[in-house]
Amino acid sequence: MEGEELREILDALSERTRYSILEALSQKPMTGDEIAESVNRSRSTVESHLSLLLRLGLISRRRDDKRYLYEITPKAEAWLNQEVPKTDITIEKKYPKFGRLSSSLPLTLTLAMAMTMMYFFINSFFIPVPLWLFSLLFGLLIAPLCPILRRLLLSILSSALILSILPPLFIFQSNSLLEFFLSFLVSLSLIAAISLPLWYVSRLLMNRARIRV
């Protein structure tokens, strides 16, 4: 491998967004919009990184109907797997292993709903548990799984809806529409107030855990 090319590849992999793009594409081919959502960057920012990765031969692009699909190349996979060709330089992973847990939206929503239902049944039929304590546990477990803020907001919204819907179904409360709305608003506000700062802190910690070459 030529020295200039090696330097360019090292520079490309040392930038966290480009490395995130390669990590995402190592899972499956994606469109530009899917990549932008996966790495939580704007489409215009992603486009500039894709151009460089294409030029270096780290990704490829093919036409699929009316859209372009981007794929990782064997050359990039060798770098990600620390199998750098024709050099003794190795690249360490930039993300802790638990970072990949954040890639599945269905998994995150399922966990959020399961936690909420468990909280409801424990609080209603066994021992009273304050909502703030549930919100704290919710944030600690769910926030690290959400690389994109929109994913966390969907989890919070689903949890608040469940806490508003379950009481009439299981303890036969005759709630009016106003009572339902107030219950939803209180649950949503408290869970969001605790979970959002925890999400922000978790993103800061994960960014600091990334290792630059």
Token pair for 208? 């600091």
Q: Which residues contact 184 (CB under 8 A, 6 or more apart)?
A: 160, 161, 163, 164
Q: Which residues contact 9 (CB under 8 A, 6 or more apart)?
A: 56, 58, 79
Per domain, the residue ranges of the chain are 3-94, 103-209
Assigned architecture for domain 3-94: Orthogonal Bundle (1.10)
Task: Dump pLDDT digits (tens) for 113-137.
Answer: 888 889 888 988 888 888 898 999 8
Token pair for 73? 């190349």
CA atoms within 13 A on the CB side of 36: 11
**Would you say 169 and 124 are in contact if contact means Cβ atoms under 8 Å apart?**
no
Task: Dump pLDDT digits (tens) for 194-208.
Answer: 999 988 888 777 666
**What's the pLDDT score for residue 193?**
92
Q: Which residues contact 109 (CB under 8 A, 6 or more apart)?
A: 154, 155, 158
To 5 degrees, how large is the angle CA 22–CA 28–CA 31?
A: 80
Task: Dump pLDDT digits (tens) for 34-43.
Answer: 998 888 888 8
